[in-house]
Amino acid sequence: MQSLVARVVVTALAAAGPLGLAQGPSYADTVCQVTDPETGVCLIYVEVPGTPGNPGGGGNDGPKDTGSGAACYWDGTSQGISDPPPGPVACSTEYGYWSNGYRCYITLLNPQPPAGDPNWQGHQPGDGAVYSCYQPPTDLLIWVWSQNTPPNSGAGPTPREVAQIAIQQMDLRAIDVGITPEPGPHSIGIVGMPVWMWAANPNSHTVGPISESATAGGITVTATARLHKITWDMGDGTKVNCATAGTPYNASYGKAESPDCGHTYQKSSSTQSGGKYTVTATSDWVITWAGAGQTGTIRLNGLTRTVAIAVGEAQVLVQ
């Protein structure tokens, strides 16, 4: 069956004021609100605001969700300039507004040069305009002609918002559940017997790692997603946190316990709805991103897949 890719809805970006060089706020975990019931694909709807959201914490363990990044950045590597290294700059100063594409602060010259001035590059006054372009890292000031107004990077997306686009391209999804006893009408487990849980048919979209790059607003960001843990809600009030994708069960293992992801039921599922335990596997991802001389971390959780299994008392099964 063809999988459903995660979707991103991007709202219009409001013009941002000066961002300065302060570190961006931390963010709360991104939670998958809508999961396709058949494929387990997370349908991600990301709204890009004009200003940063409210601060929040990361996951309960592991790396914290941090870093929005600044929309305006300096990168002189294409000019052969390594000092200062790439990094954020103020989006607006007394020299004008910052343009990532021009790598300088832009101001419309007033008055404009007279007709025939070399800075018109053969154009006539009124055909585009001439702007001052000041580059503080090199103390370089030049005049440039442009048909259209140079883009104001302060009104563009932050690196984190570009990273969200890269995450959309990853098509992250919930795992295919592997479990003993197997779901189905002819399979039943026994109270007190080890249950094994694992990610069946694992691939980069379900257990990682996976990397994607995205470009927007003159910013290119590369994001890498790694599965941090799988939380198994066993349906009996127990939650099992597994730091790995689990080990598939093989009949040769007999009554042995799973070496990395298992559970043992103490009561039968006869009192549950349908006579079965509802088992839910929830994936928790850690995504690191880098771009525009900046880095950050995004926590994504809430990608879930559910199955139902039956567990009975041994003496009842014998009868």
Over the stretch 212-248, which tens digit does the pLDDT of each residue have?
A: 999 998 899 999 999 999 999 999 999 999 999 999 9
Does residue 208 form part of some domain? Answer: yes
Are residues 289 and 213 part of one domain? yes
Same domain for 307 and 264: yes
Q: Is residue 34 part of a domain?
A: no
Q: Hey, what amino acid is at 280?
A: T
Strand extents, DSSP E, 127-186: 129-135, 140-146, 176-180
The CA R_g of the chain, rounded to the nearest whole Å, is 27
Same domain, 247 and 126: no
Reduced DSSP (H G I as helix, E B as strand, rest coil) percent helix, strand, coil of the chain, to 5: 10, 35, 55
pLDDT given for residue 315 in this prediction: 63
- At 108 the pLDDT is 98
Q: Are residues 179 and 308 in the same domain?
A: yes
pLDDT in tens, 96-108: 999 999 999 999 9
Half-sphere exposure of 215 (CA within 13 A, CB side): 4
Q: Answer yes or no: are the C-beta atoms of 301 and 283 closer than 8 Å.
A: yes
Q: Given this model, what pLDDT does residue 63 score?
A: 85
Report the pLDDT value the prediction gives residue 55, as an integer from 0 to 100: 23
- 285: containing domain: 173-318
Among 185, 145, 162, smallest CA distance to 276 is for: 185
Asked whether residue 180 falls in the same domain as residue 148, the answer is no
Number of domains present in the structure of the chain? 2
- The residue ranking higher by pLDDT, 61 or 145, is 145
Q: Is the pLDDT of residue 254 over 70?
A: yes
